[in-house]
Amino acid sequence: MNRPLHGLYLVTPDWDDTHRLIAVSRQALQGGARILQYRHKTADARLRREQATALQQLCRDYPCLFIINDHVELCAELDADGIHVGGTDLRVDEVRQRVGPGKIVGASCYGDLQLARSAQQHGASYVAFGGFYPSRIKKYPVTTPFDIVTQAKKEIALPCAVIGGMTVDNSKPLITSGADMVAAISSVYLADHPQQAAREFCQLFGTI
């Protein structure tokens, strides 16, 4: 689990079709994605466990970290590589205490640098900012300032992810500003050729 937090960071859409989810995720991993977060806000416990188990096995077939969104118990049960929490979920320090020092803990910080400072203080492994652009998947106010990445790199000693309507083209200035990871959902999962879409993101980071 000592692989770097760097490059394309896949986040799954709310698909109930597990076969489709795994098939497209596999193509993205073949394209070079090295981090995958399982996020399904409307799944019941049975479907969530089924999909998380299948995705974890897929990630183990590749050099890909497997992160679970929100569900600490599922993270512990599957021994996933880590967990990601949002601003309205459990506190970072509580999550860190529950999963232990060896797991990745990511924190959504939206457009708030103070949230990133607090996340670092309480044991986060990385911080995520956004949304920067309108998304086809998630609905949120597009209010994150572009210079937050530059500011964060000056004072936050953690890898930084950016999320929200990310495409290969519009993520370039954020990578130039210091973003370590670009989180993508629709730009990969809804692409005509997911493997190629993932590859193009990875080429921005030189990870393939």
Task: Give me the active site residues, please.
Answer: 39, 108, 138
- Ramachandran assignment for 24, one of left (phi > 0), alpha (psi -120 to 50 degrees), beta (any other): alpha
Task: Give residues with Cβ within 8 angstroms of 139, minimum separation 6.
Answer: none
What is the number of other CB atoms lying within 10 angstroms of the CB of residue 196? 14
Which of 131, 124, 62, 116 lies closest to 99, judged by CA? Answer: 124
The reply to whether omega before 131 is within 30° of 0 (cis) is yes
Task: Give residues with Cβ within 8 angstroms of 100, minimum separation 6.
Answer: none
- Which uninterrupted H or E stretch holds 50? helix 45-60
Indicate if the alpha-carbon torsion angle 95, 97, 100, 101 is positive or negative. Answer: positive
